[in-house]
Structure 1
């Protein structure tokens, strides 16, 4: 053994350690092979969009062995899997500094005990190919997390968010008394949007200027929509 170690340039202690831990190493490889099979299934069921943190949560919810997210990420790299991550952000919020601002009626409490009481709205940029960029306006119910209304167009005028709110009103039948939380984009601070809110009986609410956390529920929907529904296709570098 000493002669062979000398020829291979290995120390005898390293060889002895490798041989002594062979059984444990084989057992670990067997366990990780099982984890890799579970990862492949969740990844495939997601349309090959989920990244390590989301797959970790899915495996925990599904029961069985709890896997650390760092270990899961290492296994994903080993078997050549990766999720989809949007690569570029497009600015959709252009604040009108002179416009009147609505009060903050919900703070950062993005929950609701009943449907049709609290909504959040935002504009995002769907990563699809075409001659002109598209913009998607959403109205999301904070109780059910349902997309109650939406509108899509190749412009970012106030009509875009007005159409989304009108779609939500058609879905619910009435929005009277509901709170609509948005950012300070010029579309949401426009007079025309304020008028349709008053007409529908909706109370406008806005968080802090320039804080994505104050509209976190809408931002979370936007990220999931791009990553999982569109599967990251057509993303611009």
Structure 2
């Protein structure tokens, strides 16, 4: 597949520049994560900083100075609060596995000694510091060394994924690094040390309004979720993100071949313009040849004259799921589930702007470029497309 020159919407430019402005990170590091040239991102950042709205991403107030007594009292309270927090964490992490077994207690202390004070853990777990140090000074077996090395690698992969990877993806990531440990061993190690993927219960809001008299396209995909190459079949859908300001709606377009999100748009409404903006971004980014199938649900946004006109101008063919059948667009439903369980349900967004920045980062920096996709044999979407190039 020939790689055309990339074209970006103003929304993409603003969100990419916002990552630099809001996080304080270097332009070079953010540009590398997004696959951009430093000079391109620098122009976007300079433009954003000249806009009055950019002040919303910088601190504007200073704390009122405290007296010496207040500062001292606050320091004592913080120290006590930190000690109580650590005791709670130690008990929470250890109580299910230790069963008053000194050796297991010592192993727990050894595994967490860089996180909590050793004497505090000994006190909470009711073992003596001398006993722990005597246990630690015993010769370490090769098996124990191997286990410790594997545990460190597992924790690093889990941390790099922001806690999103369970044992299947941790196993796949370690295999890509040349680690030969079995999936069963990795699963047992993660379970023993309380390492698990973050999860959340789904919350549903209806986003599809198919009660209209607009034209309905036939279902050309028919649940065949395979594509021979990029830009043969695209999928589109809309979801919602709760914020303190109200709902933020996300429209996304996925390339079925690589599962890459090739277009997206976020608004405070669910009107036709939202879906059209996501499709326009995908067209500008990918510049597909005529004949591409664009599959969506029967929502009024996708059946509208404006959306169908955009498809026709690009030489695309519309396809639609059957009424109230989410399985006809399962890969898009899977992406939204991933977005919610690995990000949104673990956040409490105060503003839509905060949510936009977080979701942009998830899609463009993590999902498209890093996250190992089970449907692709545990490789990232960007790598799948490079293989087809």
Q: TM-score interval w.r.t. the shorter chain?
A: 0.7 to 0.9
Task: Find out whether 1:220 has 2:355 as its counterpart.
Answer: no
Partner of residue 36 from structure 1, selected from 124, 143, 151: 151
What residue is the counterpart of 1:118 in the other structure? 233
Deviations 1:94-147 (A, max 9, x none): 2324443211112222232232221011112246x3311111101112234332
Quote the Cα distance in structure 1 between the aligned partners of 2:345 and 2:224.
29
- Give the 5 Å matches for 1:166-177: 166-174=280-288, 176-177=290-291
Quote the Cα distance in structure 1 between the aligned partners of 2:287 and 2:297.
25
Task: Find out whether 1:190 has 2:293 as its counterpart.
Answer: no
SS for the counterpart of 1:140 is: strand
What residue is the counterpart of 2:320 in the other structure? 206
Displacement of 1:27: 8.5
Deviations 1:166-215 (A, max 9, x none): 11122123563211011222322233322332233221112233333321
Quote the Cα distance in structure 2 between the aligned partners of 1:223 and 1:56.
22
Quote the Cα distance in structure 2 between the aligned partners of 1:39 and 1:146.
26
Ranges in structure 2 where 5+ consecutive residues have no aligned partner: 1-140, 350-389
Quote the Cα distance in structure 2 between the aligned partners of 1:189 and 1:137.
15
Partner of residue 66 from structure 1, selected from 182, 206, 212: 182
Displacement of 1:41: 1.7
What is the aligned length?
207
Task: Find out whether 1:180 has 2:294 as its counterpart.
Answer: yes
Quote the Cα distance in structure 2 between the aligned partners of 1:29 and 1:215.
47
Greater percentage in helix: 2
TM-score by length of 2: 0.47
Quote the Cα distance in structure 1 between the aligned partners of 2:342 and 2:318.
30
